[in-house]
Structure 1
Amino acid sequence: MASLPLLLSLSLLSLLPPALSLTCTSQKFTNKLYANCSDLPQLGAYLHYTYNASNSSLSVAYVASPAPGGAWVAWAINPVATGMVGSQALMALRISGSVVAKTYNISGYHSIVESKLSFNVWDLSADEANGTMRIFAAVKVPEKAASVNQVWQVGGAVNGTHPSIHPLDVANKASKGTLELQSTGGSPSPAPGPSKGGAPARRGNVGLLASAVLLMGSLTVL
Structure 2
Amino acid sequence: MDGMLKLFVSSFILMSMLLTSSAQSCSRYAFSSNRVFSSCNDLPYLNSFLHWNFNSSSSGVQIAYRHTGVTSSMWVSWAINLDSKGMVGSQALVAYRNPDGTIKAYTSSVDSYRTPLSESNLSFPVSDLSATYSNSEMIIYATLELPNNSTTVNQVWQHGPLSATTNTPGPHAFSGPNVQSMGTLDLLSGRSATAPVGNSRTRNRNIHGVLNAVSWGILMPIGAIIARYMRVFKSADPAWFYLHVTCQSSAYIIGVAGWATGIKLGSESSGVQYTAHRAIGIVLFCLGTLQVYANGTHVFRFILADCGMLT
TM range (shorter): 0.7 to 0.9
- Contact 2:83–2:89 (CA under 8 A) maintained in structure 1: yes
Q: Using the TM superposition, give the Cα deviation of residue 68 of structure 1 relative to its aligned residue in structure 2, in angstroms.
A: 5.9
In the comparison of the two structures, how many residue pairs are matched?
Answer: 192
Of residues 165, 174, 178, the one that matches 1:168 is 174
Q: Would the alpha carbon gap of residues 43 and 18 (structure 1) be closer, same or farther in structure 2, given more than 3 Å must change?
A: farther
Q: Which runs of 5+ in 2 are unaligned?
A: 199-311
More displaced 10-residue stretch of structure 1: 90-99 or 61-70: 61-70
Aligned to 2:104: 100
Scaled by the length of structure 2, the TM-score of the pair is 0.55
Aligned to 2:245: none
Q: Using the TM superposition, give the Cα deviation of residue 131 of structure 1 relative to its aligned residue in structure 2, in angstroms.
A: 1.7
Q: Using the TM superposition, give the Cα deviation of residue 193 of structure 1 relative to its aligned residue in structure 2, in angstroms.
A: 2.4
Q: Using the TM superposition, give the Cα deviation of residue 130 of structure 1 relative to its aligned residue in structure 2, in angstroms.
A: 2.5
Scaled by the length of structure 1, the TM-score of the pair is 0.75
Q: SS of the residue aligned with 2:130?
A: strand
- Contact 1:58–1:139 (CA under 8 A) maintained in structure 2: yes
Q: Give the Cα separation in 1 of the matches to 2:174 and 2:22.
A: 24
The structure with the largest helix share of the pair is: 2
Verify: 1:109 aligned to 2:77, yes or no.
Answer: no
Of residues 145, 150, 175, the one that matches 2:150 is 145
Of residues 127, 135, 153, the one that matches 1:130 is 135
Show CA shifts across 1:172-222 (max 9, x none): 111111110233xxxxx45x2212499xxxxxxxxxxxxxxxxxxxxxxxx
Q: Give the Cα separation in 2 of the matches to 1:157 and 1:72.
A: 6
Q: Give the Cα separation in 1 of the matches to 2:30 and 2:14.
A: 28
Paired residue type of 2:156: V
Show CA shifts across 1:83-136 (max 9, x none): 011111101111122212111111111112321111110000001123200000
Show CA shifts across 1:127-184 (max 9, x none): 112320000001111233230110001222245352012233411111111110233x
Residue identity over aligned pairs, in percent, reads: 37
Aligned to 2:299: none
Paired residue type of 2:162: A
Q: Give the Cα separation in 1 of the matches to 2:107 and 2:21.
A: 28
Q: Give the Cα separation in 2 of the matches to 1:180 and 1:88.
A: 17
Q: For CA contacts below 8 A with separation 6 or more, give which structure has more relative contact order.
A: 1
- In the TM superposition, 1:15-54 aligns within 5 A as 20-29=22-31, 30-54=33-57
Q: Give the Cα separation in 1 of the matches to 2:68 and 2:167.
A: 18
Q: SS of the residue aligned with 1:38?
A: strand
Q: Which runs of 5+ in 1 are unaligned?
A: 184-188, 199-222
The structure with the largest strand share of the pair is: 1
